[in-house]
């Protein structure tokens, strides 16, 4: 069996975050220099003993190398010799994979690259906090896809644990008498008793049985891959990843396990970035339980981020999560008053909570929360400036203050100008902080300045012309119904990095701009690019739904569910298609499944209530009293969850009006719907007028 060997320096004491306190780092340097100096003072004695054991030409060669070492700097060599080293020793692969080019060497390198990317993403997430999970997140039922474009972009940063085959010492590796500098360093490591961490393992293929294939044209189930890792340093740890049909996922799982082994906090931050909140919580709790860990402030910061993020898309539990996050960050603010990242994250949570309270009849609570958020952000900026932190660290603070001012612009329009100026300061501090450009564009959209908004989005893509930046800019444009401009952005994202998601977003923008055939083609391309990605099927289903092709729509929604059975919106869409097709008995389980998966799915509650009434009418010709009670219960629950949602209110109004014949309840729902989002005022006004006239 072929093997892959990669030698990797890892520096567990280095900071993994670009935003850690540089003053703390400077304070630790004298001690480090003292330890290095002590080691250097003994190196000559220990090297002399070793050299005396060598004979003839080899001794001469080593003496020559010692001269070379002196030229390069003994501190550099000793530093490399004393580093913790992780060696990917053997990653065995099956023959059929190796025949496809996945050799032990390439798989080892893939794991190395994945570890590097995890470190970068984790470091960035530490630095930008809540901004890692952007507000651009199309999670509404009509555009449902968990792989949203609202992901934080990764910038290069120093990481504490790295696997790389491009070691610094290789850049000046020399050879004298057949012995290289690398060899000297390896001997020095042996002299100082430094042992390597050995990583080995194997990838195996799990062949699923081809059950139920009725014809030769049907494809066999895809192969599934497993990886087993063995990590040996002071102990021996074995890890087995869950079987998957995607090698990329397998590599990511293996890399994340390695990072968790050596730098658990990085693994936790990366899991948060990927929205795997349960895994992040598991790792960070274990980290805090270990009394030897030093970065407890960063761990507690992550706890607050998790509390904020895990329920942010659940209407009924979001505020509970915000309150828990506020408690965590407030306690961190009290215990570590100079830790600015906690203040920026606290400010962001206060802003999100304020956004939720904008729906209140009285907006005083929202105003107070936005004002408090601004105060907290400015406090963090003051801490960073007093400590003379780097510009990149201040960028997040300026952006957070800008966000608070943007929200306060609702009451005082001059705050928008202040917000724009703070975002300019953020950009000046870190020209690669793309979020600042995008939110400047949002402010211009809110001020009805679309041309200025587009200019900002365009600038963001010029500063960082990545597929992700184009996708984010396109999503903002689509949000403001600038569909043609959005389609251009998504097209550029596809050109840079073709993916199922990119094709799907491009198709959505084309559809919304009236280019239906072009949209259908992009959705088909999404499916061709990745048949396991669900949103292409979902969007084709929606197109069929609007065209009245209800059976075809239901078929596409079922295929989306097969690809992603835990995504509630696909079940909701299936229920809508079946209900419109006159199949209430089949629609009811679909809505019930959507609610079971997501208990705050207000649209499903409203549709379920209406469908229960329709089933009675279809089977009995009238709505039974007990059924009417259940219908009323479901409709009220929907309105309780989403009291300002026009679709919920309109669906409830129609059910009360046309199915239950309860005019008073229908009138109340219609009137509330007129002032809501997603409403159709002309139709609602006609319904209200009709019901009002029926009273007389």
The first and second tokens of residue 256, run together, are 């994340």
Q: Per-residue pLDDT averaged across 433-455, rounded?
A: 91
The pLDDT of residue 174 is 42
The pLDDT of residue 4 is 45
Q: Per-residue pLDDT averaged across 648-668, rounded?
A: 94
* Alpha-carbon distances of 91 from 1, 87, 107, 231, 480, rounded to whole Å: 9, 11, 7, 12, 49
* Alpha-carbon distances of 110 from 81, 84, 120, 247, 261, rounded to whole Å: 26, 21, 15, 10, 18
Cα 113 from chain centre? 19
User: Strand 84-92 vs strand 197-206: parallel, antiparallel, or unpaired?
Assistant: parallel
Stronger pLDDT, 683 or 554, i.e. the higher one = 554
- Whether residue 467 is contained in a domain is answered as no
The yes-or-no verdict on residue 69 having pLDDT over 80 is no
Sign for the CA dihedral angle at 436, 441, 442, 446 comes to positive
Lowest mean pLDDT among 69-78, 163-172, 331-340, 426-435: 163-172
Q: How far apart are CA 122 and CA 168, in angstroms?
A: 23
Lowest mean pLDDT among 328-337, 379-388, 674-683: 674-683
Lowest mean pLDDT among 438-452, 666-680, 681-695: 681-695
The yes-or-no verdict on residue 286 having pLDDT over 70 is yes
Q: How many independent structural domains does the chain possess?
A: 1
- Determine if the pTM surpasses 0.75: no
**pLDDT tens digits, 296-325:** 999 999 999 999 999 887 777 889 999 999
DSSP letters for 617-634 = HHHHSS--HHHHHHHHHH
- Whether residue 650 is contained in a domain is answered as yes
Q: Per-residue pLDDT averaged across 458-487, rounded?
A: 90
**Smallest Cα–Cα separation from 203: which of 229, 185, 182?**
229
The pLDDT of residue 162 is 34
The pLDDT of residue 644 is 84
The yes-or-no verdict on residue 115 having pLDDT over 80 is yes
The yes-or-no verdict on residue 156 having pLDDT over 60 is no
The pLDDT of residue 135 is 43
Mean of the per-residue pLDDT values for the chain?
79
Q: Which domain holds residue 620?
A: 604-694
The yes-or-no verdict on residue 76 having pLDDT over 80 is no
Residue 599 carries which DSSP code?
T
- Whether residue 690 is contained in a domain is answered as yes
The yes-or-no verdict on residue 3 having pLDDT over 80 is no
Q: Which residues, 6+ apart, have CB-to-CB distance to 636 below 8 Å?
A: none
Phi, psi at residue 621, to the nearest 5°? 85, -5
Q: Per-residue pLDDT averaged across 596-625, rounded?
A: 94
Sign for the CA dihedral angle at 337, 343, 349, 353 comes to positive
Burial class (CB in 10 A: 0-12, 13-18, 19+), 291: exposed
Q: How far apart are CA 148 and CA 274, in angstroms?
A: 11
- Whether residue 611 is contained in a domain is answered as yes
**pLDDT tens digits, 588-609:** 999 999 999 998 899 999 999 9
The pLDDT of residue 462 is 92
Stronger pLDDT, 581 or 163, i.e. the higher one = 581
Lowest mean pLDDT among 1-15, 343-357, 450-464, 671-685: 1-15
**Portion of the chain with pLDDT greater than 90, in percent:** 49
The yes-or-no verdict on residue 505 having pLDDT over 90 is yes
The pLDDT of residue 273 is 92
The first and second tokens of residue 261, run together, are 């082994």
Stronger pLDDT, 652 or 222, i.e. the higher one = 652
The pLDDT of residue 678 is 66
The pLDDT of residue 389 is 81
- Whether residue 139 is contained in a domain is answered as no
The yes-or-no verdict on residue 48 having pLDDT over 70 is no
User: Secondary structure of 409-470 in the HEC alphabet?
Assistant: CCCCCHHHHHHHHHHHHHHHHCCCCHHHHHHHHHHHHHCCCHHHHHHHHHHHHHHCCCHHHH
Q: How far apart are CA 70 and CA 415, in angstroms?
A: 61
- Whether residue 70 is contained in a domain is answered as no
The pLDDT of residue 602 is 93
The pLDDT of residue 338 is 93
The pLDDT of residue 140 is 39
Phi, psi at residue 387, to the nearest 5°? -85, 0
Residue 663 belongs to domain with CATH number: 1.25.40.10
The pLDDT of residue 145 is 36
- Whether residue 39 is contained in a domain is answered as no
The yes-or-no verdict on residue 55 having pLDDT over 60 is no
């Amino acid at each position: 069996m072929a093997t892959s060997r990669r030698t990797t320096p890892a520096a567990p004491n280095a900071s993994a975050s670009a935003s850690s306190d540089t003053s703390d780092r400077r304070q630790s340097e004298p001690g480090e220099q003292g330890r290095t100096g002590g080691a250097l003072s003994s190196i000559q004695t220990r090297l002399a003993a070793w050299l005396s054991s060598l004979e003839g030409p080899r001794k001469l060669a080593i003496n020559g190398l010692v001269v070379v070492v002196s030229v390069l700097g003994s501190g550099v060599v000793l530093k490399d010799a004393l580093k913790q080293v992780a060696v990917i020793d053997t990653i065995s692969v099956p023959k059929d994979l190796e025949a496809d080019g996945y050799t032990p060497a390439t798989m080892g390198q893939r794991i190395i690259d994945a570890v590097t990317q995890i470190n970068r993403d984790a470091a960035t997430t530490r630095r930008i906090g809540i901004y890692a999970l952007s507000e651009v997140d199309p999670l509404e039922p009509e555009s449902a896809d968990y792989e949203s474009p609202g992901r934080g972009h990764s910038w290069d940063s120093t990481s504490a644990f790295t696997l790389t085959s491009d070691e610094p010492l290789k850049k000046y590796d020399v050879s004298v008498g057949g012995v290289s500098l690398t060899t000297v360093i390896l001997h020095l490591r042996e002299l100082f008793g430094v042992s390597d961490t050995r990583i080995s393992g194997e990838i195996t293929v799990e062949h699923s049985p081809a059950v139920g294939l009725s014809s030769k044209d049907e494809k066999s189930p895809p192969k599934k891959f497993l990886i087993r890792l063995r990590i040996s340093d002071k102990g021996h740890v074995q890890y087995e990843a869950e079987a998957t049909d995607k090698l990329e996922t397998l590599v990511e799982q293996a890399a994340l396990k390695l990072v968790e082994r050596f730098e658990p906090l990085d693994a936790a931050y990366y899991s948060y970035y990927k929205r795997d909140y349960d895994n992040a919580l598991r790792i960070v709790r274990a980290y805090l339980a270990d009394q030897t860990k030093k970065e407890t402030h960063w761990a507690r910061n992550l706890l607050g981020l998790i509390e904020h993020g895990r329920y942010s898309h659940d209407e009924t539990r979001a505020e509970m999560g915000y309150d828990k996050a506020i408690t965590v960050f407030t306690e961190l603010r009290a215990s570590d008053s100079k830790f600015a990242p906690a203040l920026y994250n606290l400010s962001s949570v206060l802003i999100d909570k304020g956004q939720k309270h904008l729906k209140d009849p009285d907006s005083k609570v929202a105003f107070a929360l936005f004002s408090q958020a601004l105060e907290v952000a400015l406090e963090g900026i003051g801490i960073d400036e007093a400590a003379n932190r780097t510009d990149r660290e201040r960028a997040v603070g300026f952006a957070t203050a800008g966000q608070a001012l943007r929200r306060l612009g609702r009451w005082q329009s001059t705050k928008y100008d202040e917000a724009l100026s703070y975002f300019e300061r953020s950009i000046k501090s870190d020209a690669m902080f793309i979020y600042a450009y995008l939110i400047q564009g949002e402010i211009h959209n809110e001020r009805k300045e679309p041309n200025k908004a587009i200019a900002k989005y365009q600038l963001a893509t010029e500063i960082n012309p990545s597929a992700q930046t184009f996708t984010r800019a396109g999503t903002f444009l689509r949000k403001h119904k600038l569909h043609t401009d959005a389609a251009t952005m998504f097209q550029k994202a596809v050109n840079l990095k073709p993916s199922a998601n990119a094709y799907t977003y491009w198709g959505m923008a084309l559809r919304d701009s009236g280019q239906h055939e072009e949209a259908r083609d992009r959705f088909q391309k999404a499916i061709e690019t990745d048949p396991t990605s669900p949103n292409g099927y979902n969007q084709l289903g929606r197109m069929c739904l609007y065209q009245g092709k209800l059976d075809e729509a239901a078929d596409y929604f079922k295929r989306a569910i097969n690809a992603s059975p835990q995504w509630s919106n696909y079940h909701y869409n299936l229920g809508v298609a079946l209900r419109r097709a006159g199949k209430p008995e089949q629609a009811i389980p679909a809505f019930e499944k959507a609610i079971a998966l997501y208990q705050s799915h207000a649209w499903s509650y409203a549709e379920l209530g209406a469908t229960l009434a329709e089933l009675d009418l279809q089977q009995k010709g009238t709505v039974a009293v007990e059924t009417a009670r259940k219908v009323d219960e479901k409709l009220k629950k929907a309105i309780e969850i989403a009291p300002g949602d026009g679709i919920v209110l309109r669906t409830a109004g129609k059910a009360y009006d046309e199915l239950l014949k309860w005019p008073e309840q229908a009138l109340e729902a219609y009137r509330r719907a007129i002032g809501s989002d997603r409403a159709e005022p002309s139709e609602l006004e006609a319904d209200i007028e009709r019901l009002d006239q029926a009273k007389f």
